[in-house]
Amino acid sequence: MDLKLKGKVAMVAASSKGLGYGIAEALAQEGASLSIGSRTEKEIETVAEKLRRETGISVLANVLDSSNPQSIQKWTDATIKEFKGIDKLVINAGGPPAGKFEDFSDEDWQEAFELNLFSAIRMIRATLPSMRKRGGGCVLTVTSMSVKEPIDVLILSNVMRSGVTSLVKSLSAQLASDNIRLNNLMPGRINTDRIRSLDSMNSEKMGVSIEQIQEASYNNIPMGRYGTIEEFGRCGAFLLSDAASYITGSSLAVDGGALKTVW
Ligand SMILES: NC(=O)c1ccc[n+]([C@@H]2O[C@H](COP(=O)([O-])OP(=O)(O)OC[C@H]3O[C@@H](n4cnc5c(N)ncnc54)[C@H](OP(=O)(O)O)[C@@H]3O)[C@@H](O)[C@H]2O)c1
């Protein structure tokens, strides 16, 4: 199947490692031109060089803070200057801190809003004119399976990602006539630094080994393991491609069967 991603211009936020990197790598393997961004300059430059070397594609490395409006605008402007337009946008960022309702102040809620929901609004707003000008485009967000099954200790994440899902659903109807599709990927537990650090935090808190924590997690996943960033990235490339041309406003779970809901 030809995904028809060759030569398409894709912006991928929060992509020096983890889920964002997985999507960037899959797009690079399909021949897309990339504009990648994250906060640490050295790490994003290193990843850009690796992708250029391994796939021969053009990669623009950017310092990006997804929670900062000026940074998003700068990233968008630099991408348009380099590649003359934008076809695909991947919205991603770090995750908000874990904790329960009474642990968080107004400031914590505001920060989570800027990082995980307002970032999506701002990135779509910044890139829309270019997608329209090119006759269409595609947006993909990274949310979480917690949208369907809230996770007890991740209340900030649960709430913001539900907002993103609603934003995407609303815009999918408004922008279909502009040939712009928007979808979400809902990771379950994909083996990234964030998951490793959450497991290590729990192992310290509960006084058991990290292997015991992982084993307990695996027992809640029908496939009995965490996903890989490659498996996650391939799903992203599919939803961003013409192979998914009739899919918009949808959320795809990449969770090894962990979600217990029917829909
Ligand atoms: N992994 C999972 O199974 C899973 C499940 C559910 C939800 N999620 C969510 O998916 C997102 C990505 O998670 P991950 O597991 O890939 O995390 P990760 O392995 O820690 O990678 C995070 C990436 O995002 C970048 N980043 C962090 N904050 C940023 C910001 N404000 N602006 C721009 N880039 C930023 C990091 O680079 P810098 O630090 O240099 O910026 C890094 O490249 C998070 O929101 C997480 O909560 C992950």
How many Å is the Cα radius of gyration of the chain? 18
For ligand 1, atom 17: residue with the closest CA: 194
Q: Which of 16, 19, 231, 232 to mutate to test the pocket of ligand 1 (most atoms within 8 A of CB)?
A: 19
- Domains in the chain (CATH in brackets) are 9-190+228-254 (3.40.50.720), 191-226 (no CATH)
Choice from 12, 17, 201 to test ligand 1 binding pocket (greatest atom count within 8 A of CB): 17
Quote the ligand 1 centre to 194 CA distance (angstroms): 7
Tokens of 113: 């809003």
Question: Which residue stretches of 30-154 are H helix?
Answer: 41-55, 69-83, 106-112, 119-133
Q: Residue 192 to residues 31, 79, 181: CA-CA distances in angstroms?
A: 24, 27, 27
Packing angle, helices 41-55 and 18-29, rounded to 10: 30
pLDDT, residue 1, reads: 86
CA–centroid distance for 78 within its chain: 20
> Do the Cβ atoms of 74 and 100 come closer than 8 Å?
no
**pTM for the whole structure:** 0.98
Q: How confident is the model at residue 263 (pLDDT cuts 50, 70, 90)?
A: confident
Average pLDDT over residues 240-251: 98
What does each C-alpha distance from 238 to 22, 34, 109, 234, 242 come to in angstroms? 13, 16, 33, 6, 8
- Weakest mean pLDDT among 34-38, 98-102, 130-134: 98-102
For residue 45 and ligand 1, the question of a CB distance below 6 A is answered with: no
Question: How many angstroms does the Cα of residue 156 sit away from the middle of ligand 1?
Answer: 15
